[in-house]
Amino acid sequence: MSAGGRVSLVGAGPGDPGLLTLHGKRRLESADVVIYDALSNPSLLAFTRPDCEVIFTGKHGSGVRLTQAQITETMLGYARAGRSVVRLKGGDPFVFGRGGAEARACVRAGVPFEVVPGVTAAVAAPAYAGIPLTHRDHASVVSFVTGHEADREGDRAVPWEALARQGGTLVLYMSVLQLSGNLDRLTAGGLDPATPAAAIRWGTTARQRVVRGTVATLPALVAAAGLRPPALVVIGGVVGLAAELGWFERRPLFGRRVVVTRPRGRAEAFAALLEGEGAEVVSLPTIAPEPPASFAAWDAALADLGRYAWLVLTSPHGVEVFFDRLRALGRDVRELAGVAIAAIGPATAAAIGARGLAAALTPGEYRAEAVADGLVARGVAGKRVLLARAAGARRVLPERLRAAGALVDDVATYRTVLPPEAAAAPALFAGSPRPDLVTFTSSSTVTHFAGLFPGRDLGAVLAGVAVGCIGPVTAATARDLGLAVDVEPKDYTVPAFAAAIVDYFRSRPAANP
């Protein structure tokens, strides 16, 4: 085996991406290859490098599904080739996740491996449903049980009679399809049919569905609700506390599926705000920043920064690219002595501040027109202004400055392209469940999104899906493409945008996820 090959069996947690451990995040960030299963939230793949190879194992009924033998051989094959492999598994790798079998395969193949524990659904899903597994008045014993081995005989069979007698809390994995039979075995073993019981589907996610009853009534209630896997069942007196302690489903965006089109590396803060209010966030980046076709004009501007009165930066990514290129040319911030910096908004100003500099101008309205007005008000006639921004940006800023007599160099620091992940858009909006809202944070996210549906009426594609735009410029682009804009915050910031989304849905009850 080549040096450096290793397998990390990483627990992805039960669905809420916020429950991934820091250790798991670090392993994803450094992975060469990620092999993930259907119970791993795909949003966790945002932590991987752009050059990371991602392999989906498939799911039951999908038509494309790797066998366990194929998964193991793929995992070992990449590790033998010297690659750093993350086997991303829903929940915890060593709790009903075949992690033990995969670890043994590594040992037998002589492949180094490690186990990164994850939060198992048996702990997290009841907590999100308001069910404490232990409580001094109800349970001091908890048992995790697999339901799909109910018909096995011999030493490996589930000891249903013993479980029925021991009391405490029972958590049954993979039991929904065998629910009646499993509960019959428990009652035959002596469990009181009136014992509270609950089934939880897609626990910890915005699709969470909880059905509560008793051991006697739960099978019929689950059937009437159409509850299917993935789900687990909790049995015991603690289930009776759910009506009082349930918290997750009371969040204002619970049950809502929100699409975020921001680029990788820029979507996380927005997603966290939405997820904190209960939403299921689907990452669909429609733009990805790339270097300009040529650095010639850019390098010429940086060669004599002192001639400019103003440097205008219009995005945090533009700030990063500017200073990275300055450093690549062997220059530093001393080149900016005497140059005033204008930022289009607080996020851009914060990125400038992180480099030890202060923006001299950050207008109260975060768009190009306000930047132009602020510069003109300070007097730019006869002064040189360097605009460092994305290729193809709106012309309003250089045109207004030139009209005021400024000598403007408009230099592309980066360009935006359509990332490969965006190809999932047609299936996403044609699938089930459909998104409740698609969000846009720049005109380019809208235009690139529209390009994913060539020749189609964008309004028809998004029929029944609300549209949110961070500000008037983005909203105008959306309307020009035939979209009605439902959410538009008064302040053009990500926190204000998230708050406006909460306000929009607060008065609109969600259907069952």
Is the confidence at residue 466, as pLDDT, over 60? Answer: yes
CATH number (domain holding residue 38): 3.40.1010.10
Do 148 and 242 belong to one domain?
A: yes
Give CA–CA dist 10/87, Å, rounded: 6
Minimal CA–CA distance to 341: which of 319, 321, 369? 319
pLDDT at 83: 97
Q: What is the 3-state secondary structure (H, E, C) of 150-198?
A: CCCCCCCCCCHHHHHHHCCEEEEECCHHHHHHHHHHHHHCCCCCCCEEE
pLDDT at 211: 97
Angle 510-441-449 from CA coordinates, rounded to 5°: 85
Do 89 and 61 belong to one domain?
A: yes
Mean pLDDT of 191-195: 97
pLDDT at 508: 80
User: Which of 129-133, 182-186, 334-338, 475-479 is predicted least confidently?
Assistant: 334-338
What is the C-alpha R_g of the chain? Answer: 27
Mean pLDDT of 177-205: 95
In a domain, 494, yes or no: yes
In a domain, 227, yes or no: yes
Do 343 and 239 belong to one domain?
A: no
Is the confidence at residue 152, as pLDDT, over 50? Answer: no
pLDDT band at 64; cut points 50, 70, 90: low
pLDDT at 2: 43
In a domain, 391, yes or no: yes
Do 201 and 140 belong to one domain?
A: yes
Last residue of a domain, one of 230, 250, 270: 250
pLDDT band at 154; cut points 50, 70, 90: very low
Do 82 and 178 belong to one domain?
A: no
CATH number (domain holding residue 315): 3.40.50.10090
Residues 6 or more apart in contact with residue 52 via CB below 8 angstroms: 31, 32, 33, 34
310-313, strands of its sheet edge to edge: 288-290, 407-417, 384-390, 310-313, 340-343
In a domain, 198, yes or no: yes
Do 282 and 425 belong to one domain?
A: yes
pLDDT at 268: 86
In a domain, 50, yes or no: yes
In a domain, 512, yes or no: no
Mean pLDDT of 98-124: 96
Q: Which domain holds residue 438?
A: 257-287+419-506
pLDDT band at 1; cut points 50, 70, 90: very low
158 contacts 146 by C-beta, under 8 angstroms: yes
Q: Which two tokens stand for residue 330?
A: 């062997």
CA distances from 86 to 29, 32, 110, 126 (A): 10, 8, 17, 28
pTM above 0.75, yes or no: yes
Is the confidence at residue 60, as pLDDT, over 60? Answer: no
pLDDT at 332: 86
User: Which of 95-99, 145-149, 289-293 is predicted least confidently?
Assistant: 145-149
Q: How many domains does the chain have?
A: 4
Mean pLDDT of 456-481: 94
3-state secondary structure of 456: coil
CA distances from 233 to 128, 172, 334, 337 (A): 14, 5, 64, 66
Residue 427: CA count within 13 A, CB half-sphere: 6
In a domain, 166, yes or no: yes
pLDDT at 155: 46
Minimal CA–CA distance to 260: which of 437, 465, 22, 432? 437
Do 443 and 386 belong to one domain?
A: no
DSSP state of 484: P
CATH number (domain holding residue 212): 3.30.950.10
In this structure, the number of other CB atoms found within 10 A of the CB of residue 89 comes to 26
Residues with a catalytic annotation lie at 37, 59
Sign of CA dihedral 459, 462, 464, 467: negative
Do 394 and 339 belong to one domain?
A: yes
pLDDT at 11: 97
pLDDT at 368: 86
Last residue of a domain, one of 77, 100, 119: 119
Do 347 and 395 belong to one domain?
A: yes
Q: Which two tokens stand for residue 171?
A: 């958590």
Average pLDDT, the chain: 91
pLDDT digits (tens, 9 = 90+) for 354-411: 999 999 999 988 788 899 999 999 999 999 999 999 888 889 999 999 999 999 999 9
Do 108 and 10 belong to one domain?
A: yes
In a domain, 275, yes or no: yes
pLDDT at 63: 54
Is the confidence at residue 109, as pLDDT, over 60? Answer: yes
CA distances from 128 to 10, 16, 195, 248, 497 (A): 22, 10, 21, 6, 26
Last residue of a domain, one of 374, 400, 417: 417
Mean pLDDT of 439-456: 94
Do 296 and 239 belong to one domain?
A: no
**% the chain with pLDDT above 70:** 96
Residue 510: CA count within 13 A, CB half-sphere: 28
Do 71 and 43 belong to one domain?
A: yes
113-116, strands of its sheet edge to edge: 53-56, 33-36, 84-89, 6-11, 113-116
